[in-house]
Structure 1
Amino acid sequence: MAKKVLMLVGDFTEDYETMVPFQTLQVLGYQVDAVCPEKKAGDIIRTAVHDFEGDQTYSEKRGHNFAINADFDAVDTSDYAGLFITGGRSPEYLRLYPRVIEIVQEFFAANKPVAAICHGPQLLTTANVLKGKKATAYPAVGPDINLAGGEYIAVDVDKAVVDGNLVTSPAWPGDTAILIEFAKLLGAKIEI
């Protein structure tokens, strides 16, 4: 049986920060269960494409429909090797679901690998799991990391920051970096 990774997603999650990790982790041999509160396997969420076009912040366009492939209400974190938290707009409201916060806390309590990209660290700040941890995020989330007792690390958008079981990246250009580091934390063996 393949090792499993849990992916927390929601409507208007960032497209590349969802599709790329979802597919890449499957290529590495992981079963990726994408879940969303109030959704069941077969339901869809809508994604958003964020781009950096020279404005003060990212622009946003409608992305793809993304199919949820597992039931949120059935999540048992002991079944999973790691957690991937996507970015985009979904973390700002997913953190309002108590079970989402419990899931994040359970992964940290078990010291399992956790990856969070872009706005994904908003779930970490709400879960109160960043005390003493170094993390990066989309720069607008940096103050939240510091207020939660973590240390925001500003890095280039295509980089990742690792601190213990946690790996974070600022945005989708960091997909490669966050996935390499998350795969290492999961113990994946990559041979080329």
Structure 2
Amino acid sequence: MGKKILMICGDFCEDYETMVPFQALQAVGHTVHAVCPDKKAGDVIATAIHDFEGHQTYSEKRGHNFALNASFADVRAADYDALVIPGGRGPEYLRMNDVVVAMVRHFFDTDKPVAAICHGAQLLAGARVLEGVYVPPILLAVPRSNWLAGATPTSRSTPRSLTAISSRRRRGPHILPGSRSSWPFSARGSRTDPLSPATAQAESR
């Protein structure tokens, strides 16, 4: 049975990391509500395309306009089964929004699945949900931000392991680790069963 998933977006979230999970999760039967602070259903956010073209960091180009399908003011985090946070520029300013931070904390406080893609982990750090939490090595995109937020890198399963699934954007059809048709309601990604080091390393490539 499909679940109800909240996707918190912001202007210049990464194009692929926004559009592909939004479409793919719906394709396998979930309901996804994409929202952005101060915007309503039918409004759009601008996306950015990040790519690696031989420089020391990624390039950034204008992407598409992504249409939101729900109004931020009407959203209650308690009504959703899981959370998706696209990467890109959006999380940089979303982490300063108190309402967004409270929503993110709700999903951690209630042990609901969270998928933070690439720089989406900045929002987790800004929400202070990583303090004292052991994170698997798949959180490779912004590790220093995670450590400064109090997270501890580990390759072992512990009772304080992260419930979130995080990934760098990748080529090909895969969207998120464990996402095939069952994410975020598979057996993987519980507090006591994070991704194994081998799986995390392989899926971060």
TM-score range, shorter chain: 0.7 to 0.9
Cα distance in 2 between the residues matched to 1:18 and 1:177: 10
Q: Which runs of 5+ in 2 are unaligned?
A: 156-160, 188-205
1:90 matched residue in structure 2: 90
Amino acid at match of 1:171: R
The match for 1:8 is: 8
Task: Give secondary structure in 2 for the equivalent of 1:21.
Answer: helix
Alpha-carbon distance in 1 for matches of 2:94, 2:76: 18
Q: Is the 8 A contact 2:134 2:154 kept in 1?
A: no
- The answer to whether the 8 Å contact 1:12/1:89 transfers is yes
Match of 1:159 in 2: none
Q: Secondary structure at the match of 1:70?
A: coil
- Code of the aligned partner of 1:168: S
How big is the alpha-carbon RMSD for the aligned residues of Structure 1 and Structure 2? 2.3
Runs of 4+ in 1 over 3 A off after TM superposition: 135-139, 151-154, 172-175, 181-185
Q: Which residue of 2 aligns with 1:160?
A: none
Give deviations 1:27-78, integer Å, cap 9, x for gaps: 1111100000010000000111110111010011111110011011111112
Secondary structure in structure 1 of the residue aligned to 2:150: coil
Q: Flag the structure with higher helix content.
A: 1
Q: How many residues align?
A: 179
Q: Output the CA distance in 2 between the equivalents of 1:101 and 1:172.
A: 27
Which residue number in structure 2 is paired with residue 65 of structure 1? 65
Change (3 A) 1:36 1:172: farther
Partners of 1:17 and 1:172 within 8 A in 2: no
- Give the structure 1 partner of residue 149 of structure 2: 148
Asked if 1 retains the 8 angstrom alpha-carbon contact of 2:10 and 2:45, the reply is: yes
Contact in 1 for aligned 2:46/2:65 (Cα 8 Å): yes
Distance change in 2, residues 1:137/1:53 (3 Å): farther
Closer, same or farther: CA 172–74 of 1 in aligned 2, 3 Å = farther
Residues 138 and 171, structure 1, Cα contact 8 Å, conserved in 2: no
Please point out which of 151, 167, 183 is paired with 1:169.
167
1:185 deviates by 3.6
TM-score computed with the length of structure 2 as normaliser: 0.79
Mark the CA change 1:69 to 1:75 in structure 2 (over 3 Å): closer, same or farther.
same
Q: Distance in 1 between matches of 2:184 and 2:128?
A: 21
Using the size of structure 1 for normalisation, the TM-score is 0.85
Q: How big is the shift at 1:176?
A: 1.6
Aligned residue number for residue 186 of structure 1 = 185
Contact 1:137 1:171 (C-alpha < 8 Å) held by counterparts:
no
CA contact (8 A) 1:119 1:138 kept: no
Q: How far did residue 142 of structure 1 move?
A: 1.3
Identity of aligned residues (%): 52
Change in CA separation of 1:3 and 1:177 when aligned onto 2, cut-off 3 Å = closer
Task: Tell me what 2:38 maps to.
Answer: 38
Amino acid in structure 1 at the alignment position of 2:16: Y
Query: Which residue type is aligned with residue 144 of structure 1?
Result: S
Residues 81, 186 of structure 1: 8 Å contact kept: no
Distance, in Å, in 1 between the alignment partners of 2:110 and 2:95 is: 20
SS at match of 1:87: coil
Q: 2:68 and 2:165 mapped to 1: Cα distance?
A: 24
User: Unaligned stretches of 5+ in structure 1?
Assistant: 155-162
